[in-house]
Chains A and B, each alone.
Chain A
């Protein structure tokens, strides 16, 4: 599966400045592993040592938060669009 990942500013130093990269993977986890293969160092910024997505990182598949799907086991299909987004304040 080839999917497109939108890379937030703090991670672009791993992607030679690119704001979008194409990677492969049947699941979010597989996608993150391929991302790491192609851009070493990026995965540990997104996931902690225990393999969980970090507390202040949100991952979306076609606009849906993966915590509403199957988390890192969420299945991906060709052409899916992945966003990695830091948490944002707001409200009241």
Chain B
């Protein structure tokens, strides 16, 4: 049973039917899915959700599909980890990580939005799916298209990490690398989408695709025992996930799954080399001027964020804020997360950790309230960005004496008398 009532322009309110449309004809505003929340309220309960399989479809009343889900039957329900050692390092009492770096099947938050988009593409009868991507989205679309038996074209900027390129190619899509930045890819894809009748998950299916991001928020709340964290930090690229976390928490209040008075402040993380949203936030405006990206955090290197305006609205509305960090701080963030919690994230995740650290140090996030950091991607895809900051293996012969010598050297360095000798 579906509670979808159609689409509506976020800006002017004009209503549209449930169709592969994404832009308001009158004002170019983005279209959003409308639901019958009273109906949902009568039909969902914590108990009902608890009985369902541990995937993102357990919240299906709040997702825009009509039929049974077609893909993503193992996507979502990623771990929410109580991060004691990282919490200690950051000097905070109650820290959690929402770990989408182990999302199924392609190890990023994108498996959420793509599960919804491809299910919807099948409902609409499309045979070819496509996307404009900074890497993770292409991986996820390629994998889900393969599992659904759909044709697939993915468009990426040139110069992505090998893990992201091979991580799409293995599923057999046509991969097109565009000479330029993600913003160039986007512009081209908008024009390709106009000409070819494909399901572009983040273009003509965007209203449905972006709804999948809410499941990140739903899971955080459920995993905290149907409570909201007081603070949550997430990266911003095009700006899809952050406003959808805000929408997800709002919906939980609206349909009675969490206390309607529970506050949750949301914070945006960007790389200093690409922070159009943080720039606008700090200037005190909601006009997000585009920038030319220059950062190692390729998955958030979007200079012209489509939903930047809504990110700023959500930060204001929830009492949150945002910060940006340098590439060096991003690498430190990756290493800090790995060494304290045993989780290897990509530069976007390093940004999320480093920005959280900065916001805590600035006093923007208090040390004695619950904090969630969203870890949106996996470090095994972006090995080359950190290869130079890790120890290389010690190379020795297969000889016990050789190892004794190495071990002696390694432990002497850490013994208190070592310096004197």
Contacts and interface: CB of A to CB of B under 8 A. Distances in A.
Contacts of B24: 10
B29 A56 contact: yes
Contact of A86 (B28, B109, B131, B302): B28
A57 B28 contact: yes
B290 A68 contact: yes
Nearest to B206: A89
Given A6-B191, A86-B190, A92 B300 contact: yes
B119 interface: no
Contact of B190 (A46, A63, A65, A88): A88
B348 A92 contact: yes
Nearest to A48: B27
B25 interface: yes
A2 interface: no
B322 interface: no
B30 A65 contact: no
Interface in B267-326: 287, 289-290, 292, 299-302, 304-307, 309
B302 A91 contact: yes
Nearest to B241: A92
Interface in A46-61: 46, 54-58, 60
B240 A89 contact: yes
A92 B304 contact: no
Contact of B109 (A46, A56, A68, A92): A92
A92 B194 contact: no
B26 interface: yes
Q: Is the interface of A mostly helix, strand, loop or mixed?
A: mixed
B304 A65 contact: yes
A55 B286 CA distance: 10
Interface string A30-69: 0000000000000001100000001111101001010110
B28 A90 contact: no
Interface stretch (B68-76, B120-128, B178-186): B178-186
Nearest to B306: A87
A63 B186 CA distance: 11
A18 interface: no
A8 interface: yes
Contact of B240 (A56, A65, A90): A90
A70 interface: no
Given A56-B28, A68-B290, A88 B235 contact: no
Interface of B: 11, 22-30, 108-110, 131-134, 136-137, 180, 182-184, 186-187, 189-191, 194-195, 202-203, 206, 209-210, 235, 237-241, 287, 289-290, 292, 299-302, 304-307, 309, 348, 376-377
25 contacts: A6-B191, A10-B23, A10-B24, A10-B28, A13-B25, A45-B27, A56-B23, A56-B27, A83-B191, A85-B190, A86-B22, A86-B23, A87-B28, A87-B307, A88-B186, A88-B190, A89-B202, A89-B209, A90-B133, A90-B237, A91-B137, A91-B301, A91-B305, A92-B134, A92-B240
Interface of A: 6, 8-10, 13, 19, 45-46, 54-58, 60, 63, 65, 67-68, 83, 85-92
